[in-house]
């Protein structure tokens, strides 16, 4: 894992707290094929309770972070470089990664881990990973979303 990681306190993951109707809208709206077998979790399950062969994804990855499946190679490179799983990324981290990726591509630049590290550093907070501005580096995401209310409780398995 990279040396710049910042750690903050950890604790238990909260249980499910969101609407199945919204989950179904995500499945339809983002056109998940049936073979992906996306599952709305049973009441009482937490994000760490994914069935064998499934991963946990969070609602705000899609609705706030512009995340899409299948994931891009850039996101795979980020996860590999830092050594964590996509289910361990926070939605604010996803927003920053996706924004950086869009920014690069819109300027005809290939997004890479080396380039994103110029602007961001890895942050670990309560068992999840995000990216925070790196020191005096120029901010490229000027108006990030302010709140991800109860995001840890709004997950599904795929």
Supply the pLDDT for residue 68. 93
Supply the pLDDT for residue 1. 46
Asked whether residue 98 is assigned to any structural domain, the reply reads yes
Supply the pLDDT for residue 157. 96
Asked whether residue 43 is assigned to any structural domain, the reply reads no
pTM: 0.80
Q: Which is more confidently placed, 9 or 136?
A: 136
Residues 61/154, Cβ–Cβ less than 8 Å: no
Q: How confident is the model at residue 8 (pLDDT cuts 50, 70, 90)?
A: very low
**What is the rounded average pLDDT for all residues in the chain?**
86
Supply the pLDDT for residue 7. 46
Asked whether residue 135 is assigned to any structural domain, the reply reads yes
Asked whether residue 133 is assigned to any structural domain, the reply reads yes
Residues 13/152, Cβ–Cβ less than 8 Å: yes
DSSP 3-state of 46: strand
DSSP code per residue over 97-156:
HHHHHHHHHHTT----HHHHHHHEEEEEETTEEEEEE-TTPPPS-SS--S--TTGGG-EE
Q: How confident is the model at residue 2 (pLDDT cuts 50, 70, 90)?
A: very low
Asked whether residue 116 is assigned to any structural domain, the reply reads yes
Q: CB neighbours (10 Å) of residue 63?
A: 19
State the total domains in the chain.
1
Host domain of residue 117: 1-7+57-158
Q: Which is more confidently placed, 149 or 125?
A: 125
Asked whether residue 90 is assigned to any structural domain, the reply reads yes
| Distance between CA atoms of residues 18 and 2, nearest Å | 34
Q: CB neighbours of 59 closer than 8 A, spacing ≥ 6?
A: 18, 22, 23, 26, 151, 154, 155, 156
Asked whether residue 12 is assigned to any structural domain, the reply reads no
Supply the pLDDT for residue 4. 53
């Amino acid at each position: 894992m990279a040396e710049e990681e910042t750690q903050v306190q950890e604790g238990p993951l909260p249980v499910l707290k969101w609407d199945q109707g919204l989950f179904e809208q995500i499945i339809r709206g983002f056109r998940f094929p049936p073979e992906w077998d996306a599952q709305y979790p049973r009441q009482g399950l937490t994000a760490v309770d994914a069935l064998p062969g499934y991963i946990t994804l969070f609602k705000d990855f899609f609705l706030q972070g512009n995340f899409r499946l299948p994931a891009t190679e850039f996101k795979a490179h980020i996860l590999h470089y830092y050594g964590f799983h996509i289910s361990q990324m926070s939605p604010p981290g996803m927003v920053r990664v996706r924004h950086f990726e869009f920014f690069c591509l819109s300027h005809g630049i290939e997004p890479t881990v080396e380039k994103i590290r110029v602007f961001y550093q890895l942050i670990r907070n309560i068992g999840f990973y995000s990216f925070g501005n790196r020191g005096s580096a120029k901010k490229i995401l000027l108006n990030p979303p302010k709140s991800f209310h109860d995001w840890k409780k709004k997950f599904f398995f795929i």
